Chain A
Amino acid sequence: MVISTLKTAEVESLYEKHGPALAAYGCCCGLDFASAEDVVQQVFLKLLQGRTLMPQMPVPYLYRAVRNASLNLHRDFRREVEMPDRETWFIGPDGHPEDVLALQAALRELPQDQRETVFLRVWGGLALQEVADTLDVSINTAASRYRYALEKLRERLQPVSKR
C-alpha cells in the first residue's frame, strides 16, 4: 500500500466527484443530511491540511473515513438510529420526491450492514473486495449481503419501478 499526501487540487477533485455520494453514505450510517455534510467536510479538511496520509486507492479510504466519523458522531450524540423520514439525500430521475422517499424508505428498512453494502456497491461504485475492506468483512460476506439487499430492494421498489 503506497501512502502519500494529496495536493489541494486532487483533494478538491475528489470532493467534487465523491462528496455527494459520501454525504449520502453518511446518511446511510444514520446521520441527518447536515451532519453527514459536516462529516464529509471534516474528512476532506484533514486531507487539505496534510494531517492524513492517503493510501494509493483513495475512494475506499474515503468511504471508510466517513463511515468511522459518522458512526462516532452518531454514538457521541446518542442520536436516534432512525433516519429522518422526509429529508432527501437523493435526486430522482424524474424529479418525483415520492420516488426518492420510497427508495430511502426501502433502504431504511434494510439491516444496516446490507444497507451500507448496497450503497457502497451501487452509489459508491466500489468493487466487492473494496466493499469488504471498507466494512472489514470477508468478500463472501459482502457478496451475500449485497445479494440479500438487492432482493429486498427489488421487492419493495417494484411498484415504483413499474411507474
Chain B
Amino acid sequence: MQDREHDEELVQNLRKFRPRAIRPLEQRRTGNSSLKWLTAAAAVGLAGSMLFWYTQIHKTKPLERIVAQTSIEIRPQTHWSTPALTKLALDDGKAFDALLADESRNLLPSMRGERSALRVLAKE
C-alpha cells in the first residue's frame, strides 16, 4: 500500500517533466501532389513531342525518298514552243525523234546503273 503511494508520488513528480515541443506538422501533401502532376504533365509533353518528331521523320513519301537516293541530276530544260516543235516534226522527222529521245532521257530517272530507280525499288 505504502509502495503504491510512493509510486504514485514518483509518477506525479516525473509527469512534471513535460516532453519538449516539436515543430508544426508540415503538410507536404499538397506540395507532393503538385509535383506529381507537374512531372506527369512534363512526361506527357515529352512523349507528345517525340511522337510528333517521329511522325514528321516518317511522313516523307516513298517516291521522294527513292528519287533522293538515286541522286538524279536534272539538267536545265530547253523549252521548245509548240509551233517550233510542229515545224521540226514536219521538216525533219529524224531530228524530231532524236530530240524526244534526248528529252525523255533528261526528264526520267535512269533505269540502269548501280543507283538506278529500279534497283532502289527492288531493295525497298
A-to-B contact residues, CB < 8 Å: 11-12, 15, 19-21, 23-24, 33, 37, 40-41, 44-45, 48-49, 88-93, 99-100, 103, 121-123, 147, 150, 153-154, 157, 161
Q: How far is the CA of A54 from the CA of B67 in the complex (A)?
A: 72
**Binary CB contact string for chain B from 1 to 27 against chain A (1 if under 8 A, 0 otherwise):** 000001100110111111111110111
**A122 touches which of B15, B20, B29 (Cβ 8 Å):** B15
CB distance from A122 to the nearest CB of B (A): 5
Main DSSP-derived SS at the A contact region: helix
Q: How far is the CA of A19 from the CA of B23 in the complex (A)?
A: 9
Q: How far is the CA of A108 from the CA of B29 in the complex (A)?
A: 36
Check B14–A103 contact: CB distance below 8 A: yes
Q: How many A-B residue pairs have CB under 8 A?
A: 71
Which residue of chain A has the shortest Cβ distance to B28 in the bound complex?
Answer: A45
**B10 touches which of A40, A91, A99, A154 (Cβ 8 Å):** A154
Which residue of chain B has the shortest Cβ distance to A92 in the bound complex?
Answer: B17
**A20 touches which of B15, B22, B28 (Cβ 8 Å):** B22
Which residues of chain A have C-beta atoms less than 8 A from B7's C-beta?
A: 147, 150
CB distance from B17 to the nearest CB of A (A): 4
CB distance from B102 to the nearest CB of A (A): 81
Q: How far is the CA of A153 from the CA of B18 in the complex (A)?
A: 17
CB distance from A155 to the nearest CB of B (A): 11
Which residue of chain B has the shortest Cβ distance to A94 in the bound complex?
Answer: B16
Which residues of chain B have C-beta atoms less than 8 A from A40's C-beta?
A: 22
Which residues of chain B have C-beta atoms less than 8 A from A103's C-beta?
A: 14, 17
**B19 touches which of A48, A90, A121 (Cβ 8 Å):** A90
CB distance from A60 to the nearest CB of B (A): 17
Check A20–B18 contact: CB distance below 8 A: yes
CB distance from B112 to the nearest CB of A (A): 73
Q: How far is the CA of A48 from the CA of B32 in the complex (A)?
A: 12
Given contacts A19-B25, A150-B7, contact A88 B14 (CB under 8 A): no
